[in-house]
């Protein structure tokens, strides 16, 4: 008798297969679709992440996490660019959360980390002048605010429109123009300084 009374109260055990089946009803990408999207976006996303975090290992981790969350979200997108923006938005949020946690735990600040002296995993021959510019850029990006770094990369390296930048970074479209200009001016100043220093060193 008691068993019969208890039964209605018992929450039915959710088995793993049931959970997976439930999730498959969300509009997730199939393997072929996912792999094609990954092949198109993973490298640009890694480039973006490595620059905004300043840490290649973190870029690796965030890349995987971003793709997983994107896949799990299972959202349908109007267009390829909308889908790409959504992925970049997820990745940006992961980086921001991670930075917030690092700040909370008083981790090593971004400025102290560096992969300037690190050997690139895949070493393509880079001319000396280009390497210097990359070093200046790396130094300059680290001196900028995170939002400025993200915005500069999306605007000039990624070629995103102001609307796309606003959507990805969660800011108002009208503020993108002025913020971008300020960031550009600051980075240009740092790059010019690096160039001047190199010229002076060469002259000595």
Partner 1 sequence: MRNELCQREDELLNALGRGFLGSELEDHIVACAPCAELHMVAGALLDDRAHSIAEAPIPTSGGMWWRMRLRQRHDAEGKARRSLLVGQAATLSVAIALMIFFFGADLMVAAREVVSTVRVSTPLLLAILTTVLLAPIAGWVAIRGK
What character string, x for contact with partner 1 (CB under 8 A) and - otherwise, covers 66-95?
A: -xx--xx-----------------------
Closest CA to 191 of 162, 166, 156, 164: 156
| Binding range to partner 1, per CB under 8 A, among 30-38, 79-87, 102-110, 165-173 | 30-38
Residue entry with tokens 């039964």:
7
What character string, x for contact with partner 1 (CB under 8 A) and - otherwise, covers 95-134?
A: -------------------------xxxxx-x---x--xx
Cα 45 from Cα 89, distance rounded (Å): 11
Cα 99 from Cα 161, distance rounded (Å): 26
Which positions from 173 through 202 interact with partner 1, judged by CB under 8 A? Answer: 178, 181-182, 184-185, 187-188, 191-192
Cα 168 from Cα 186, distance rounded (Å): 22
56 is an interface residue for partner 1 by CB under 8 A? yes
Minimum CB distance to partner 1, residue 103 (Å): 25
Cα 152 from Cα 187, distance rounded (Å): 9
Minimum CB distance to partner 1, residue 177 (Å): 8
Cα 131 from Cα 137, distance rounded (Å): 10
| Binding range to partner 1, per CB under 8 A, among 29-37, 73-81, 84-92, 102-110 | 29-37
51 is an interface residue for partner 1 by CB under 8 A? yes
35 is an interface residue for partner 1 by CB under 8 A? yes
Cα 194 from Cα 130, distance rounded (Å): 12
């Amino acid at each position: 008798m008691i068993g019969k009374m208890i039964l209605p109260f018992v929450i039915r055990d959710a088995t793993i297969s049931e959970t997976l089946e439930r999730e498959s009803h969300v509009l997730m990408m199939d393997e072929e679709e996912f792999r094609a999207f990954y092949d198109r976006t993973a490298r640009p996303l890694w480039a973006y992440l490595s620059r905004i975090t300043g840490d290649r290992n973190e870029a690796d981790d965030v890349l995987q996490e971003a793709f997983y969350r994107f896949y799990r979200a299972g959202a349908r997108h109007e267009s390829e660019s909308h889908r790409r923006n959504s992925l970049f938005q997820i990745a940006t949020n992961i980086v921001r959360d991670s930075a917030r946690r690092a700040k909370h735990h008083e981790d090593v600040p971004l400025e102290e980390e560096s992969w300037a002296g690190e050997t690139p995993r895949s070493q393509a021959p880079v001319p000396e002048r280009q390497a210097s510019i990359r070093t200046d850029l790396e130094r300059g990006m680290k001196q900028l605010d995170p939002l400025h770094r993200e915005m500069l990369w999306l605007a000039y390296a990624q070629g995103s429109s102001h609307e796309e930048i606003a959507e990805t970074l969660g800011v108002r479209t009208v503020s993108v123009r002025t913020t971008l200009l300020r960031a550009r001016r600051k980075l240009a100043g740092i790059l010019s300084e690096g160039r001047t220093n190199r010229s002076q060193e060469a002259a000595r």
